[in-house]
Structure 1
Amino acid sequence: MTSHKPEIAASAAPAGTDEMLGFRPLYRQVKGVLVRRLVEGVWSPGEALPSEGQLAAEIGVSQGTVRKALDEMAAEHLVVRRQGRGTFVAEHDEPRILFQFFKLVPDAGERRFPDSRVLDITETAADADEQAALGLSPGDTVLRIRRIRALGPAPVILETLSVPAALFPGLSDGPVPNNLYALYAGRYGITVANARERLKAVALAAAEARLLGVAPGTPALRIDRTATSLDGTAVERRLSLCLTEEAHYLSDLR
C-alpha cells in the first residue's frame, strides 16, 4: 500500500477549522491534494479511496474538511459516493457520459448512448482551430477521427474528434470504441473532467449532408467542444454536426 506524507503546507490551519489560507479555504487545499493524486494515477477509475478518517489523519486536517472536499469532488463527478461502501473514483461509463457530456436526446424517448461507426482515422498537422483549442504549436500533429453516430436507425451526428498525437500513441492502431472517454482513462490515464461547448445553427455543406443522408443546406446544430483533463490540460476537440428534426439538445442547469 502506497504511503503519502501530508501535502498541506505547514502553515495550515488547525484541524477542525476552515480558515482562509493563501486565499483558499482549507477544504479547497485538500481537494487540490486529492485531485493531484487522481492526475498522478494514485487511484484508478473505479477504485475505492481510503476512508475520510484515513485521509484526514494522513493529510493532517479534520475529517469534516475531507468530507467537504470530497462532497465538492462528487458534485463535479470526479468521485462517486456509495452509501455504506465509501467513495470511489468516477468511471467514464455510459450512464455518466449521458448525464455529464452527451446532451442530444430523441424527441420521443429517453436519453440513450448513441451507436457509432468510424469513417476514418488520420494523423496530420493540427490546423489553426485545433492548435487554438488544444494549445498546440504549428507543426504539432493530431489524430483526427471522423465518425457517424445514431440514436436509432438513421444517423443524426457527424463527428470529428481531434486529439494531440503525442498524448495518445497507438490510438489509431486498433479498433476505436464507442466510449472514447473510458479508453482515454483506462489506456492512457487521462480522465476527462470538464468540457466547454459552443453551439451554433448552420446549414450542412454537400459532403456533410451526403454522409448524414440528407439534402445539402439542411439545418444542423454545430457543437464545438473542448474537453480538459483533471489538471486542466486540453485533450480533445470535438466538432459535432447534429440533425435536430427528431432530437433536441438538453442541458440540466444546476
Structure 2
Amino acid sequence: MSSSPPPTTEGTPAGAGAGASTPAFSPLYQQIKGLILHSLQHGEWKPGEAIPSEMELAARFRVSQGTVRKAIDELAAENLVMRRQGKGTFVATHAERQVQYRFLKLLPDTGDARVEGPAQRTILECRRMRASAEIARTLALRTGDVVVQVKRILSFVGVPTILEDIWLPGQAFKGLTAEQMAHYQGPTYAMFELDFGVRMVRAEEKIRAVFPDETQAQWLNIPVATPLLSVERLAYTYNDVPMELRRGLYRTDTHHYHNELS
C-alpha cells in the first residue's frame, strides 16, 4: 500500500491560505491523477501490470469512482495507462506496439517501415563519464555527476542512417553495457523499462538542418556536403523528470522525418 497522502477535499487545495501566496485551485481529479502518478513514479505498479480498479482506487483515496475515472481518462489520453476492455487498466509500456512507435519518427520514403524491419544497431561507444555543466543542467544533475554516454549508428537494410549520442543519468542506468544496447531485440525504451525500471513518457525535440563534420560523414558513409537533420531529444519519465538526452543526425535521402499532429 502506498504511503501517498489522501487528497484534499474539493474546493480546498492543499496549502491554501489567505493572501496573495495562495496556491492555484487544483480540481480533485487532478489531485488524484497526481497521486496515481506518484505511485507510478515510485514503481508501485510496473509497466505492463494492472493498476487497482476504479472502485479500489476510489476507496483508497476516499473519493467518488467518477473522480477516479476522470483522472484515469487523462492518464490514458497521455498514453501513461491503457484500458483493456473487460480486463482493467494497465500501466502502458513501450513493449506495446501502439506505444513503442510514439517516438519513432524516421520512415522510409517508399515501402512500409514494417517491411524494412527494425534498425540494426552498431554501438561505437558506451562509457561512464563525469557530466559536463551543460549535460548536468539538461538532465537536472550536478556538474561532475556520473552519466552513461552511448554513441551508436542505426542502419536500415544495411545502410547507416542515424548517428546518435545518448546521455543517461548514471545512477538510474547503473550497469548498462554496450552488449545490452546492441543485442536487445525490442525498442530501446522497452529495454530501459525492463532492465532499469525507467519509463519514458514524453519527449521534447529540437530540429535543425546541418552538415556533418568529417568524422560524422565517415560513420554515415556520406559526403561531407550531405545535408542532415539534427534532432535533439530530451525524454522524461513520470512527473517531468529528465532521463535521457539524445542528439541524432538523420540522413533524409531515403527516409523522412514523420510527425502526426492532433
State the TM-score, normalized to the length of structure 1: 0.89
Match of residue 56 from structure 2: 54
- State whether residues 6 and 60 of structure 1, in contact with CA within 8 Å, keep that contact through their aligned partners in structure 2: no
User: Distance between the aligned counterparts of 1:49 and 1:31, measured in 2?
Assistant: 13
User: Distance between the aligned counterparts of 1:25 and 1:238, measured in 2?
Assistant: 35
- State whether residues 2 and 39 of structure 2, in contact with CA within 8 Å, keep that contact through their aligned partners in structure 1: no
- State whether residues 6 and 58 of structure 1, in contact with CA within 8 Å, keep that contact through their aligned partners in structure 2: no
- The 3-state SS of whatever aligns with 1:238 is strand
Deviation per CA, 1:161-191, whole angstroms, max 9, x where unpaired?
1112122111127522363222222222221
Match of residue 143 from structure 1: 148
- State whether residues 208 and 231 of structure 2, in contact with CA within 8 Å, keep that contact through their aligned partners in structure 1: yes
Which amino acid letter does the alignment assign opposite residue 204 of structure 1?
A: P
User: Distance between the aligned counterparts of 1:179 and 1:94, measured in 2?
Assistant: 10
Match of residue 7 from structure 1: 5
Deviation per CA, 1:195-253, whole angstroms, max 9, x where unpaired?
11100100011100111111112100000011111132211110110001111111111
More displaced 10-residue stretch of structure 1: 183-192 or 228-237: 183-192
- State whether residues 212 and 228 of structure 2, in contact with CA within 8 Å, keep that contact through their aligned partners in structure 1: yes
Using a 3 Å threshold, how does the CA distance of structure 1 residues 157 and 4 change in structure 2: closer, same or farther?
Answer: closer
- State whether residues 156 and 212 of structure 1, in contact with CA within 8 Å, keep that contact through their aligned partners in structure 2: yes
Deviation per CA, 1:90-135, whole angstroms, max 9, x where unpaired?
1112624553111111111334543322122122222343223212
Match of residue 16 from structure 1: none
1:228-247 aligned at under 5 Å gives the runs: 228-247=236-255
More displaced 10-residue stretch of structure 1: 214-223 or 128-137: 128-137
- State whether residues 105 and 247 of structure 1, in contact with CA within 8 Å, keep that contact through their aligned partners in structure 2: yes
Runs of 4+ aligned structure 1 residues displaced above 4 Å come to: none
Using a 3 Å threshold, how does the CA distance of structure 1 residues 151 and 123 change in structure 2: closer, same or farther?
Answer: same
1:221 to 212, 218, 229: 229
- The 3-state SS of whatever aligns with 1:192 is coil
Using a 3 Å threshold, how does the CA distance of structure 1 residues 35 and 159 change in structure 2: closer, same or farther?
Answer: same
Unaligned runs of 5+ in 1: 14-18
More displaced 10-residue stretch of structure 1: 139-148 or 70-79: 139-148
User: Distance between the aligned counterparts of 2:212 and 2:151, measured in 1?
Assistant: 16
Using a 3 Å threshold, how does the CA distance of structure 1 residues 94 and 68 change in structure 2: closer, same or farther?
Answer: closer
1:27-42 aligned at under 5 Å gives the runs: 27-42=29-44
1:92 to 94, 106, 109: 94
2:76 to 49, 74, 77: 74
- State whether residues 98 and 111 of structure 1, in contact with CA within 8 Å, keep that contact through their aligned partners in structure 2: no
- State whether residues 4 and 58 of structure 1, in contact with CA within 8 Å, keep that contact through their aligned partners in structure 2: no
Using a 3 Å threshold, how does the CA distance of structure 1 residues 221 and 74 change in structure 2: closer, same or farther?
Answer: same
- The 3-state SS of whatever aligns with 1:163 is strand
Using a 3 Å threshold, how does the CA distance of structure 1 residues 67 and 151 change in structure 2: closer, same or farther?
Answer: farther
Which amino acid letter does the alignment assign opposite residue 217 of structure 2?
A: A
- State whether residues 5 and 58 of structure 1, in contact with CA within 8 Å, keep that contact through their aligned partners in structure 2: no
State the TM-score, normalized to the length of structure 2: 0.86
Which amino acid letter does the alignment assign opposite residue 235 of structure 2?
A: A
- The 3-state SS of whatever aligns with 1:108 is coil
Aligned residues: 246
Using a 3 Å threshold, how does the CA distance of structure 1 residues 119 and 51 change in structure 2: closer, same or farther?
Answer: same
- The 3-state SS of whatever aligns with 1:24 is coil
